[in-house]
Structure 1
Amino acid sequence: MAASAAHRSATLALRVGAVVGKRLLMLVILLAVVFAAVDLLPGDAASATSDRGEGAAGVAARRHLLGLDRPVWERFWDWITALPTGDLGTSARGERVTDLLAAPLPNTIALGTTAFALTVVAALALGIWTAARPRGIVDRVVDLTSTAAFALPEFVVSVGLLLVLSLWTGWLPAATVTGADGAPATWTTLIMPVLALAVPQTGWNTRIVRAALADQAAAPHVEAAHLDGLPVRRVLLRHALPGAWPSIATGIATSTGMLLGGTVVVETLFNYPGIGTVLAGAVADRDTPVIAAVVACAATLITVILLLADLVRARTLGARP
């Protein structure tokens, strides 16, 4: 038995190593695509950040200073080889990218973490609630509502929240008010951005939780628990939910990327001082190091979450008889 456990552990370690290596390779390819895509956009960082009325000679000198007269693959190689040391490069406006991201990154983490936690809690609660009452009116209402919520893009939800909670009722400010440290002045300014991110993903994950629990309802051990006369809620939580975790974990991990993608729109609409606002400005400036740094941070976080989901799946499936 000990040898079997050691073999499973070694197999899992090799599988994790292969997954990490594959995703690191995908990350490098993604960053190379980012460099190439920005290079293909009209204009460049030198012209986008030049002073008004600056002549062609000044723009050319600035282009040389930024290294834009070098091939894109050389610039990418210099940037990617410095990345393991924590050097994210220098922005087109002469600021270290690490310093540029230091202030807004905690704000985005606070926004994304709160929206993620709300999504997980709401999806689990709604999914379990409807699974306990299959084919009832609650199940049908939640099913329709969750489908509609997932179909709404973040900017539509944001506009609706602005109309209802700000313009019509005046309960919340339309834009984020920041303090002297650059962070939101009060927690109430987080309410609408968090809801705008969480509503679509709650709809998506509620359907996943409900479907995963419905699949588990047909499992022999779950049917046996029902036949033993156990309460429905206990059967769901003790017998059905553990087997549903692989599907639920995958859905939640997928939501991480969607939440990060939605922050760009939500932070811009609510004037929230986060990474999304920095990224929008960097795209306008054709600032490749900043764009690549934001993509690298987001992709690393998504990779870690997906890896955790894979581990949950591997451990759950491996624990089944």
Structure 2
Amino acid sequence: MAELSPLAKTGAVAASQTGAVTAPRRPRHPAVRVAAVVVRRALMLVVLLAVVFAAAEILPGDAASATADRGARAADIAARRHLLGLDRPVWERFADWMAALPTGDLGTSARGQQVTDLLADPLPNTLILGLSAFVLTVVVSLLLGCWAAARPGRLTDRIIGHASTAAFALPEFVISVVLLLALSLWTGWLPAVTVTGSDGKPAQWSMLIMPVIALVIPQTGWNVRIVRGALADQAATPHVEAAHLDGLPVHRVLLRHQLPGAVPAIATGFATSTGMLLGGAVVVETLFNYPGIGAVLAGAVASRDTPLIAGVVVCAGAVISLVLLAADMIRQATLGERA
């Protein structure tokens, strides 16, 4: 009979002492992992909506007084407050709103309009703006990040690193003002404001250029650094070092060996940018008079219109959650292939 190795002897002794060998933890099925992520995102969205209702309750005034006619009597405002249900506890109104949410009912605004009707035109416009900025951010970030990673420590790498840090530090409203001055007021190349057509969308595609650029610049700065850092981490792995020792061209090592391993970190960075893009869109749309949810949200906050605010938040939250879910699935699929 063959003699056991020291490691096997140690395991046998441990098993004899405990009476059983602990089985390794079985990995969860991919569908179970996806379901867990979906439940977690849904719970986070519910908590966010609860915070929105609570924050609207804390603000001074309410929808009844904010939307009342000038000179309205106190009795009229009280009757309107009762009509809007504002005399009920906030948790009851939140529960009723959440109960109707699965059916697609986002409630009624303070002015008596359905929230879904109010968002029917602005939401697609914001999605067009955000998607255009997202695609351009992904393309430019990958190009600049790979370009810097292919020349580590050189002048190009340093310039891209410093420029990306400066770009991320610039707020969207500052970039928007500079673009308005440079491309509209001083040169007249692009229209300063967005004019809508009969369909509620921008009348010309050129009206999208400055809002998209204002959103892309800071998010490109953020993601270039993520791409560069993820590729730098992969450059220190043994298989990448072996590829360099084999004499493979730099671009081939970068694209075939470094970039696939950096995909999880890069995908997470791009997914995070989704929320920043939608948040920045509120400011950018206001400055450029773009017909998106930014103006709707600003008006809803001024009117203390809680259902309308919650409707905007749930639409934006659903988009962000879907993008984050896609990033999680990409990460799990990539790590699964490595395993």
TM bucket (normalised to shorter chain) is over 0.9
Aligned to 2:68: 50
Q: Which of 272, 276, 279 lines up with 2:290 in the alignment? A: 272
- Runs (4 or more) in structure 1 with deviation over 4 Å come to 7-10
Q: Does 1:19 align with 2:29?
A: no
Deviation of 1:171 (Å): 1.0
- 1:232-284 CA distances to partner (integer Å, 9 max, x unpaired)? 11111111100000110110011001001101100011110001110011000
Q: Cα RMSD between the aligned structures?
A: 1.3
Distance 2:129 2:321 in 1: 19
Aligned to 1:114: 132
The answer for unaligned runs of 5 or more in structure 2 is 1-24
Q: Does 1:151 align with 2:165?
A: no
Distance 1:302 1:177 in 2: 28
Aligned to 2:110: 92
Aligned to 1:232: 250
SS of aligned partner of 2:29? helix
Q: Which of 154, 160, 171 lines up with 1:142 in the alignment? A: 160
Q: Does 1:65 align with 2:83?
A: yes
Q: Does 1:241 align with 2:259?
A: yes
Listed as ranges, the matches of 1:171-190 within 5 Å are: 171-190=189-208
Deviation of 1:299 (Å): 1.1
Aligned to 1:3: none
Aligned to 1:4: none
Distance 2:225 2:170 in 1: 15
Deviation of 1:53 (Å): 1.5
Q: Which moved more, 1:79-88 or 1:45-54?
A: 45-54
What TM-score does the superposition give when structure 1 sets the normalisation length?
0.96
Distance 1:228 1:190 in 2: 48
Aligned to 2:302: 284
Deviation of 1:307 (Å): 1.2
Aligned to 1:310: 328
Q: Does 1:222 align with 2:240?
A: yes
Larger Rg: 2
Deviation of 1:12 (Å): 2.2
SS of aligned partner of 1:162? helix
- 1:41-93 CA distances to partner (integer Å, 9 max, x unpaired)? 00111111111111112111111111111111110011000000000000011
- 1:96-155 CA distances to partner (integer Å, 9 max, x unpaired)? 000000011111011000000000000000001111111111111111110000001111
SS of aligned partner of 2:191? coil
Q: Does 1:301 align with 2:315?
A: no
Counterpart of 1:256, as a letter, is T
Q: Which moved more, 1:52-61 or 1:115-124?
A: 52-61
Deviation of 1:312 (Å): 1.3
Deviation of 1:304 (Å): 1.2
What TM-score does the superposition give when structure 2 sets the normalisation length?
0.91
Q: Which moved more, 1:280-289 or 1:52-61?
A: 52-61
Counterpart of 1:226, as a letter, is H
Deviation of 1:185 (Å): 0.4
Counterpart of 1:19, as a letter, is V
Distance 1:132 1:284 in 2: 50
Q: Does 1:319 align with 2:337?
A: yes
Q: Which of 199, 202, 210 lines up with 2:228 in the alignment? A: 210
Distance 2:26 2:291 in 1: 46
Compared CA separation, residues 8 and 230, structure 1 to 2 (3 A): farther
Length, aligned pairs only: 315
Counterpart of 1:314, as a letter, is Q
Q: Does 1:32 align with 2:57?
A: no
Distance 2:153 2:27 in 1: 42
- 1:143-173 CA distances to partner (integer Å, 9 max, x unpaired)? 1110000001111111111111111111111
- 1:272-297 CA distances to partner (integer Å, 9 max, x unpaired)? 00011100110000000010011111
Aligned to 2:93: 75
